[in-house]
Chains A and B, each alone.
Chain A
Amino acid sequence: MSTTYARKTWDREGRRLGRGLMALPALILALVVFAPLVYSIVLALYNWQITQINQGKPFVGLQNFAKLFTDPKVLSAVGNTLLYVVGSVGVELVLGFIIAAALFELTKGRKLANSLILLPMIIAPVITALIWRYMFDPQFGLISQVLSFFGVKGGVDFLGSSQLALSSLMIVDIWQWTPFVILILHAGMLGISEEQFEAARIDGAGRVRILRSIVIPGIAPQILLVLLFRTMDTYRIFDTVYVLTRGGPGGATETIGLYTYQTGFSFFNMGYAMALSVFILVTIAIISTFYLRLLRRRSVFA
């Protein structure tokens, strides 16, 4: 009797404490995340040139959103962004899988290799850009020096050429984020039970067969997770593009994130910039909902 009574007060007290502990954090989260989002949706309905203070901001309804679908720069920015997403994430996934599988076979030095592999992904993207700005330098950069050793004289202007600039940015992304893919896929491989490998070996399965029939299905949730996070993060890419090319040469590396930034802070067209922000948010929500559906089916993020 007395224990059920204690249970009841315990639960009641828990509900009250929960309300108390959650109120302030929920308020702050609403202020820093949801208020700006709502605000951007509202302001996207106005034509607001921040430079023309006296003109005020006339209400234009959905005009900014209509403009978004006819703006050729949006089309090319989305195209560049998608190319960047598919190219970077594709290479990162394949390369990451190969390295993770190799790492999985190591008996000695696995820990050391893990610690060193970590390095690129904890460096700030801006610092990464600085490092690669030097690597790509047509005169003094390491890549051009190595190329000239093989007979390609004069240096290649990776970031200044409209054919090479976007691929060069992808190389930076691949350098920085393949380690992330490796760590996650490797963690997934460590989670596969030893009995499964044992059973396959007794069945006489070769290494490639084991990779295909046991490892890949075993880490399917991790592969999906990597795809979710890398797709989201490459879609919103800003830092390295801003620092290395500013969208140039001739718009060859203008991504949707950079275009939004420039609309707001270079052209001061705040209303249109808000519409672009909403566009990014909605497209990311669609992409991630698709992945999350697949993931929840495999009970990640349950």
Chain B
Amino acid sequence: MTSHTLNAHDVPEVSARPVTQKKRRDAWVIGCYVVIGVFLVWVLVPVLTVLVNSFKTPSAIFTSTPQLAFAPTLANYAKVFGGLDFTHFLLNSLIVGLGSTALSLFLGVPFAYSLARLPVPGREWWARLILFSRMVPAVALVVPMFVIFQQLHLTGSYLALILAHTSFNLPIVIWMMRSFFEELPPELEEAAMVDGAGRFGAFWRIALPLTTPGMAATAVLCIIFSWNEFLFALVLSGQDTQTVPVGVSSFIGSVSIDWGGSSAAAIVAIIPIFILGLGAQRFLVRGLTFGGVKG
């Protein structure tokens, strides 16, 4: 294809082109909207089905002909917060999530700052080690962890779960926060040096307050990862420390699965995490790709 250069001959052609191009453009854009629309239906229908089921009585769920008109009931939600121990699972998930998030931030933020700003030897080496630890699959960690915690008489405790979840949350905090610290203009901390604030002062009073939004986003991601985690929770939790996924898994397996109750439970588990996810949407891509995509 030859490249065009604008000259007098092209003028009529150029003025004629936008009309046909605009038409073609419209058809293309409409096509794009249709594609997105179909995809959204595919994404939303399974969740909406469960949402609708959570308001149905068992007899309304178990019909071979789907009904759209039904008398909504809150009985399933009453059951979720009443009989199923579900409030206990929610509380456990909250304790483990907040515990491992707090621990990971407490440990990871100073580490990330050191990697981003301080003249530490072997920075690259450390960064690679952290990346490697994100790649270690839970399946490879859970068997030895179970044995270690068993010997320490920690299986079934919150501490075991919090430490296990720290194994994936700590690397995430380090990589996320490193990228946030690197984005700060270094002049701010240099000014602190001139003012005689000292290294720790520059970190504590300048860098840390400026990265609060990044820290909040990182915390949200940690809570989501911890809230959704299943394998560690399955193996390391005890009767009293089961988290939401473990609790839910136990009633999926049973033959006489209570569809109304489990649908309501699913909705209750989804809503807080979806709200948090929307809040951290801007940083979700960065967190999920370990800083590989800034988003």
Contact = CB atoms under 8 A, between A and B. Distances in A.
Interface of A: 6, 10-11, 13-19, 21-22, 24-26, 28-29, 31-37, 39-40, 43, 98-99, 101-103, 105-107, 109, 113-127, 129-135, 139-140, 142, 145, 148, 175, 179-180, 183-184, 187-188, 202-205, 207, 222, 225, 229, 232, 235-236, 238-239, 242-244, 246, 256-257, 260-261, 264-265, 270, 273-274, 277-278, 280-281, 284-285, 288, 295, 300-301
Interface in B111-144: 111, 113-114, 117-121, 126, 130-133, 135-144
Closest 8 A/B residue pairs (Cβ): A124-B228, A21-B110, A18-B118, A236-B137, A126-B245, A36-B144, A25-B107, A18-B120
Interface string B1-21: 101100000000000000000
Nearest to B44: A116
Contact of A274 (B143, B231, B294): B143
A277 B35 contact: no
Given A18-B114, A203-B1, A264 B293 contact: no
Nearest to B28: A207
A176 to B, nearest CB: 10
Contacts of B193: 6, 10
B137 A29 contact: no
A13 to B, nearest CB: 4
B262 interface: yes
A134 B119 contact: no
Given A118-B284, A130-B266, A288-B135, A125 B140 contact: no
A124 B269 contact: yes
Given A22-B110, A117-B43, A184-B289, A15 B118 contact: yes
B199 A135 contact: no
B163 interface: yes
A97 to B, nearest CB: 12
Contacts of B4: 202-204
B101 interface: no
Given A98-B35, A180-B288, A284-B137, A120 B53 contact: no
Contacts of B39: 99, 102, 117
Contact of B170 (A25, A36, A101, A246): A25
A257 B141 CA distance: 11
Contact of A43 (B65, B117, B147, B229): B147
B66 A142 contact: yes
A117 B234 CA distance: 29
Contact of A301 (B131, B147, B198, B227): B131
Contacts of B118: 14-15, 17-18, 21
Interface stretch (B68-76, B78-86, B272-280): B272-280
A40 B148 CA distance: 10
B166 A105 contact: no
**Dominant secondary structure of chain A at its interface with chain B:** helix
A25 B108 contact: yes
B131 A102 contact: no
Contacts of A10: 193, 199
Please tell me the size bucket of the interface on B: 35 or more
A130 B228 CA distance: 13
Nearest to B269: A127
A215 to B, nearest CB: 14
Contacts of B292: 225, 295, 300-301
Interface string B205-239: 00000000000000000001001111100110000
Q: Name, among B31, B119, B140, B284, the residue most crowded by chain A CB atoms within 10 Å (CB to CB).
A: B140
Nearest to B294: A187
Contacts of A24: 107
B123 to A, nearest CB: 9
Contacts of B64: 139-140, 145, 148
A261 B230 contact: no
A179 B259 CA distance: 27
B255 interface: no
B140 A40 contact: yes
Contacts of A125: 228, 230, 245
Contacts of B274: 118-119, 122-123
A13 B193 CA distance: 11
A13 B198 contact: yes
B185 interface: no
B164 interface: yes
Contacts of A246: 253
A124 B244 contact: yes
A39 B40 contact: no
Contacts of A288: 135
A131 B266 contact: yes
30 contacts: A13-B198, A15-B118, A17-B203, A22-B110, A25-B108, A32-B167, A99-B35, A106-B33, A116-B43, A122-B224, A123-B47, A123-B274, A124-B248, A125-B230, A127-B245, A130-B262, A134-B49, A134-B53, A135-B46, A135-B49, A183-B288, A184-B288, A187-B294, A203-B4, A238-B231, A246-B253, A265-B146, A265-B235, A277-B140, A288-B135
